[in-house]
Amino acid sequence: MLEPMATRKNSTDDPLAPLTLAVGQEDLLLDRAVREVVAAARAADADTDVRDLTPDQLQPGTLAELTSPSLFAERKVVVVRNAQDLSADTIKDVKAYLDAPVEEITLVLLHAGGAKGKGLLDAARKAGAREVACPKMTKAGDRLAFVRGEFRTLGRSATPEACQTLVDAIGSDLRELASAAAQLCADVEGTIDEAVVGRYYTGRAEASSFEVADRAVEGRAAEALEALRWSLGTGVAPVLITSALAQAVRSIGKLASAPRGARPGDLARDLGMPPWKIDRVRQQMRGWSADGVAQALRAVAEADAGVKGGGDDPEYALEKAVVAVARAARTRRPSSY
């Protein structure tokens, strides 16, 4: 399935260009920019070696080691995340490499933009980088355009009202919006209209699926299972429940990793949640640990695979996930969150 990509800012459209520069703070778009390069490299050479590095892993001299000539001249993709946080000495290494890139190696720099690390950003642009814009979509109109682009790239027709209804129902999380659009395309034939989106993502189905998720992340397993059985009995699509569970757990992880003492309005803007949801998630966070979030996300991913055909019993997969999430909500230790 084709995936829509972020906006390219120059005429270089070859993902195997020696240097790709992905600029912005939208994680989904940054990840897609990386995936496009890796997919192209592996299409050219299935044995492509991919190194995905954070600033602390790219010490002075590391880039020279990774890009040194190989006896077998293997294709390699080197991804550097949060390049604006690289040390001054490592930035010197990267700039030196840009002056003499190595054949068969594709360097991908992910940079937040802004003033920090601007010298590296300018150097990459001067070197002729293929640039991909990955901005945060803070405006409702941008998110609406994103949803339209998702349907277009997936080769499907969706009415303007359907796109707006989806944005209204899901909110500002691009991953959730992309997942919802893909699910609608997989499940619905013909033009996707407002009524179809309403059946999937608003009204009673939305309320009941999020009730399951809310009870689960609060550690109330019995109530979550009761809500789950009621939801399934009234015809709620299982995929809506896994989506609600994933969104609830991710919200806890996002808020837990946000700066302490930040104002609710700032958190709402930075995390893409309405202020009322910040308050709710803050209450639900009690009892959660970082390990608990990781365990819960794994359990939800397994349930999602079972619901979408990876298992024989979607209902059992959902019950397991609900119990696992409720259990994970009680894993807090003194040093956690």
Per-residue pLDDT tens digits of the chain, which is 337 residues long: 334 445 544 445 899 999 999 999 998 999 999 999 999 999 999 999 999 999 999 999 999 999 887 656 689 999 999 999 999 999 999 999 999 999 889 999 999 998 999 999 999 999 999 999 999 888 888 999 999 999 999 999 999 989 988 887 777 788 888 988 998 998 889 999 988 887 777 654 455 788 899 899 999 999 899 888 888 876 677 888 998 899 899 989 888 887 776 776 677 777 777 776 777 888 888 889 989 999 999 999 999 888 877 566 888 999 999 999 999 988 655 444 5
The Cα-based distances of 13 to 16, 99, 134 in angstroms read: 9, 21, 15
Calpha distance 320→298 (Å, rounded): 12
d(CA 108, CA 97): 12
Q: What are phi and psi of 14, to 5 degrees?
A: -100, 110
Q: What's the token pair of residue 58?
A: 């790219």
Token readout for 284 is 């639900």
Q: What is the pLDDT of residue 312?
A: 63
Task: For residue 131, give the nearest of 17, 43, 44 by alpha carbon.
Answer: 17
CB-CB contact of 300 with 321 (8 Å): yes
Q: If we measure between CA atoms, which residue out of 194, 195, 232, 190 comes closest to residue 321?
A: 232
Rounded CA gap, 131 and 141, in Å?
23
Owner of token pair 């034939």: 189
Helix (H) and strand (E) counts for the chain?
15, 6
Determine which helix (DSSP H) or strand (DSSP E) holds 206, and give its type and residue range. Answer: helix 203-217
The pLDDT, as a whole number, for residue 71 is 57
Please state the φ and ψ torsions of residue 236, each to the nearest 5 degrees.
-70, 135
Q: Is 52 helix (H, G, I), strand (E, B) or coil?
A: strand
pTM over 0.75, yes/no = no
Strands 7-8 and 105-111: unpaired
SS3 55: helix
Q: How far apart are CA 84 and CA 127, in angstroms?
A: 17
What is the rounded (10 degree) CA torsion for 29, 35, 37, 39?
-150
Q: Where are the alpha helices (DSSP H) in 26-117?
A: 27-44, 62-66, 88-99
- Smallest CA-to-CA distance from 188 within 159, 165, 160, 156 is with 156
Q: What is the pLDDT of residue 54?
A: 92
Both tokens of residue 152? 């277009």
